[in-house]
């Protein structure tokens, strides 16, 4: 498979394209490609091209687009994962893996038990890092679409904005929130879903008040069985199930 490079600024009619600095560095210094070498270029919005390296300099890397190619198909399920921000590098792993699993969007949420504030997230520029990770993961897995990583929001703000046809909130199996068992609420061959929002809590779980607010906003509680999963594992398991039920893992 040809090396792939992300160029978000790609525009219709472009022939000679300059790679972003980090992508150019990877092409020239890491992969050590040269003028004439074939590559693939994608824009993160579903367009991909076979291209040829025109110049691989220390500060400037350009490629010539040769022809469009059919990108890897996207999941038919429009899936947004609203994840309460976790500690350390756990969010990095979640963004990486959700991209590979075909999520449409990742929405960072600040909840009551999240050990970070909105102000801290903005100061640390973690969102920019998560967006870079999503792009790198799309390159690796062959997707031509990079999931949108939204600006962090308080839980209440996001609940008011969400418009998915099916809304699910993961709850702990032994928690105070009643759930209907490990089956996906709303699942069934006679109940197809095209858009799903999945709300996933922090290490300490949701407060009773948050769970109540989410359910009043239309989110149905869902548990992944009788075992308590780690916070960074739960969204990956849940998204795999949702892609199997309605997406492209069937």
Note down pLDDT in tens along the chain; length 250 residues. 899 999 999 998 999 999 999 999 999 999 999 999 999 999 999 999 999 999 999 899 999 999 999 999 999 999 999 999 998 899 999 999 999 999 999 999 999 998 888 888 888 889 999 999 999 999 999 999 999 999 999 999 999 999 999 999 999 876 544 444 456 776 665 567 889 999 999 999 999 999 999 999 999 999 998 888 999 999 999 999 999 999 998 7
Q: Which pLDDT score, from 0 to 100, does residue 174 have?
A: 63
Cα separation of 69 and 73, whole Å?
A: 12
Q: Which pLDDT score, from 0 to 100, does residue 55 have?
A: 97
Sign of torsion, CA 230 234 240 245? Answer: positive
Q: Is 18 helix (H, G, I), strand (E, B) or coil?
A: strand
- Half-sphere exposure (Cβ direction) of 99: Cα atoms closer than 13 Å: 27
Q: Specify the domain boundaries for CATH 2.40.240.20 within the chain.
A: 4-69
Highest CATH level, class, for 4-69: mainly beta
Q: Which pLDDT score, from 0 to 100, does residue 191 have?
A: 63
Nearest partner of 249 among 108, 119, 75, judged by Cα: 75
**Torsion angle of the four alpha carbons 3, 4, 10, 11, in this order, in degrees rounded to the nearest 10:** 80
pTM of this prediction exceeds 0.75: yes
* pLDDT, tens only, 41-52: 999 999 999 999
Q: Which pLDDT score, from 0 to 100, does residue 175 have?
A: 54
Place of tokens 């959700």: 98
Q: Specify the domain boundaries for CATH 3.40.1280.10 within the chain.
A: 78-246
* CA–CA distances in Å: residue 138 to residues 90, 158, 168, 196, 235: 18, 25, 25, 21, 18
- Domain 78-246 fold is Alpha/beta knot (3.40.1280)
Q: Which pLDDT score, from 0 to 100, does residue 184 have?
A: 79
Q: Which pLDDT score, from 0 to 100, does residue 172 have?
A: 84
């Amino acid at each position: 498979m040809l090396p792939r490079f992300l160029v978000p600024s790609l525009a219709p009619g472009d022939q000679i394209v300059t790679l972003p600095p980090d992508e150019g560095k990877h092409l020239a210094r890491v992969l050590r490609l040269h003028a004439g070498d074939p590559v693939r270029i994608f824009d993160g919005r579903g367009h991909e091209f076979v291209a040829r390296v025109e110049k691989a300099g220390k500060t400037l890397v350009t490629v010539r687009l040769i022809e469009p190619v059919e990108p890897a198909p996207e999941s038919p399920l429009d899936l947004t994962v609203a994840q309460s921000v976790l500690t350390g590098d756990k969010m990095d792993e979640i963004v990486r893996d959700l991209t590979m699993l075909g999520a449409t969007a990742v929405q960072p949420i600040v909840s009551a038990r999240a050990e970070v504030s909105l102000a801290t997230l903005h100061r640390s520029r973690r969102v920019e890092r998560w967006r870079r990770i999503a792009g790198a993961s799309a390159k690796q897995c062959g997707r031509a679409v990079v999931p949108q990583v939204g600006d962090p929001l308080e839980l209440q703000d996001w609940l008011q904005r969400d418009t998915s046809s099916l809304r699910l909130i993961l709850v702990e199996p032994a928690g105070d929130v009643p759930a209907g068992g490990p089956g996906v609420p709303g699942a069934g061959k006679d109940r197809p879903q095209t858009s799903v929002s999945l709300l996933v809590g922090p290490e300490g779980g949701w407060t009773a008040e948050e769970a109540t607010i989410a359910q009043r906003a239309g989110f149905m509680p869902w548990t992944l069985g009788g075992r308590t999963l780690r916070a960074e594992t739960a969204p990956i398991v849940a998204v795999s199930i949702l892609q199997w039920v309605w997406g492209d893992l069937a």
